[in-house]
Structure 1
Amino acid sequence: MTSEVLVEKKKLDNPPLEIHHLGDRVLRQPAKRINKVDAEIRDLVREMLQTMYSADGIGLAAPQVAVQKQLIVIDCEPDDPTNQPLILINPSVKHMGRDICVAQEGCLSIPGVYLDVKRPAAVEVSYKDEYGRPQKLTATGLLSRAIQHEMDHLNGVLFVDRVENGLALNQELAKYGFSAQAVKPVA
């Protein structure tokens, strides 16, 4: 079955949705489960993909566009037209790998800021696809990191909340005009 939500991977002058930035309250609100996967949800997926591609992103969570729903779109290969984006509805972590890796992350809600974040190297998630069918996926590498990063958004957590180097964090945020007060460190 081909996805109904395929969109051309291109930048739009006027993306359909507005991405909210660090400091905006909507980014801190927990997302709600989606009860029914229908045409309205698929329309939202399409608009999120168009917005993500327009912003040169590889992932976007619904709370970033002020929609408090448990919905994530990810495409780790935005330059490859044959690579299908991943749509995760109501994602849930089933297992995290024991190996921890550190890599640089950025976020469409904190443009310009890139900092090191520690995360499990592998993650197994269950979710529903754009048709409401249950799916399971074990991811490693960039995809694992993207899934964990976007799932954090569903809980009101931003990657800067996980940065351990406070000096680098404050310098980067200041450089791009963001307030360090907007960071809410996670334990």
Structure 2
Amino acid sequence: MKARGTVRAIRKLGDPVLRTECDPVRSFDADLARLVDDMFASMYAADGVGLAANQIGVALRVFVYDCKDAQGTRHVGHVVNPVLVVEDGGTEVDEEGCLSLPGLHFPTPRHAHAAVTGVDIEGRPVQVEGTGYFARCLQHETSHLNGGVYIDFLSGDTRRDALRAVRSADWNTPPTGGQS
């Protein structure tokens, strides 16, 4: 799907913006609308189902999504200044990945149901809730805005495997060459 907006580079784990809690949006203007358009364009270009603003280097509390819930219903939208208000329905463990950790997928525990409140790009209140994969998406993107990534929810051997994979990932290797 082609979206309006400009495709921006996705930040990889190791970039400090991914580990910093994002600031609330205070200006509901053309810049915010452009940011949301750029986020959709970037998400679709990377074949993602969700994207937080800090994943493109903008430390503001905004995320976009385009994914299906447990019943197969497609949800497309954005939330500004989201707050995760419900996580329930038991825990489901399923493969999860992240555009900021390309190529890596690990079984990650998430709640089966989640709800997020916030506002839209015009400042109008919204509440978004979902089950299954969509609930996973809501939790994943909200966590990004709090400075988290999905591997933070892993434990035991799975966490060790994930950290080992991150260390050896080709996108996580420092540049080689001499000093200038």
- Structure 1 length-normalised TM: 0.80
Q: Which residue of 2 aligns with 1:32?
A: 23
Between the aligned partners of 1:123 and 1:110, the Cα distance in structure 2 is 23
Q: Which residue of 1 aligns with 2:127?
A: 136
Aligned partner of 2:2: which letter?
K
Between the aligned partners of 1:116 and 1:167, the Cα distance in structure 2 is 13
Gaps spanning 5+ residues in structure 2: where? Answer: 69-73, 173-180
Q: 2:169 aligns with which of 169, 173, 176?
A: 176
Q: 2:159 aligns with which of 166, 179, 187?
A: 166
Cα offsets for 1:141-176 (capped at 9, x unmatched)? 111100100111101101112122234314432453
Classify the secondary structure of the residue corresponding to 1:122.
strand
Shift of 1:75: 0.5
Between the aligned partners of 2:54 and 2:81, the Cα distance in structure 1 is 13
Between the aligned partners of 2:51 and 2:106, the Cα distance in structure 1 is 18
Gaps spanning 5+ residues in structure 1: where? Answer: 1-8, 78-82, 180-187
Aligned partner of 1:106: which letter?
G
Between the aligned partners of 1:173 and 1:115, the Cα distance in structure 2 is 12
Q: 2:107 aligns with which of 101, 112, 116?
A: 116
1:11 and 1:55 in contact (8 A); partners too: no
1:10 matches 2:10: no
* CA RMSD between the two structures: 2.2
Runs of 4 or more consecutive aligned structure 1 residues displaced over 4 Å after TM superposition: none
Between the aligned partners of 2:168 and 2:125, the Cα distance in structure 1 is 43
Shift of 1:100: 0.8
* Equivalent pairs, count: 165
2:39 and 2:51 in contact (8 A); partners too: yes
1:68 matches 2:49: no
Cα offsets for 1:21-64 (capped at 9, x unmatched)? 01111111110111122211010000110011001111110011
1:30 and 1:156 in contact (8 A); partners too: yes
